[in-house]
Amino acid sequence: MIDKMTTLINSQTKKNMKNRKLIAYWVFTALFTFGMLASGTQQVLRTKSMVDLITPLGYPVYFLCILGAWKILGVIAVLIPGFKLLKEWAYAGFFFAMTGALVSHLACGVHDIKEVLGPVFQLIFILLSWYFRPADRRIV
């Protein structure tokens, strides 16, 4: 009788942990994909705020269209079911883009906290989304 109750409690605990991980995955995924979709759209449209953001870093304006298009495609890859390898590549691309943005701002002497916090928070959201992703979205 005690063994059955222990087994039931353990299975319920595992189920609760799985649900918490799934909720964490979707919260962090929503945060980072919203940010990437919003910034990617602004970059493709070459909004003044995006042009003003990259010009002091020395990047050409056409770079916005390339980066923005890849961000939008990456968001689609992360959100659609299946395509596990494509998701891994998208996460890697987002990681490289945000570390590149952070290093670019710091290397060019841009220490405005607003410009540095964006890539930092996006990096945190990307890493947590990747960490909490469910088994059906993992390669291994």
Instruction: Give the start-to-end residue ranges of the domains of the chain.
Output: 2-137
Closest residue by Cα to residue 101 from 87, 79, 77, 119? 119
Closest residue by Cα to residue 127 from 105, 86, 103, 96? 96
Quick: pLDDT tens for 34-88: 999 999 999 999 999 999 999 989 999 999 999 999 999 999 999 999 899 999 9
Its pTM stands at 0.86
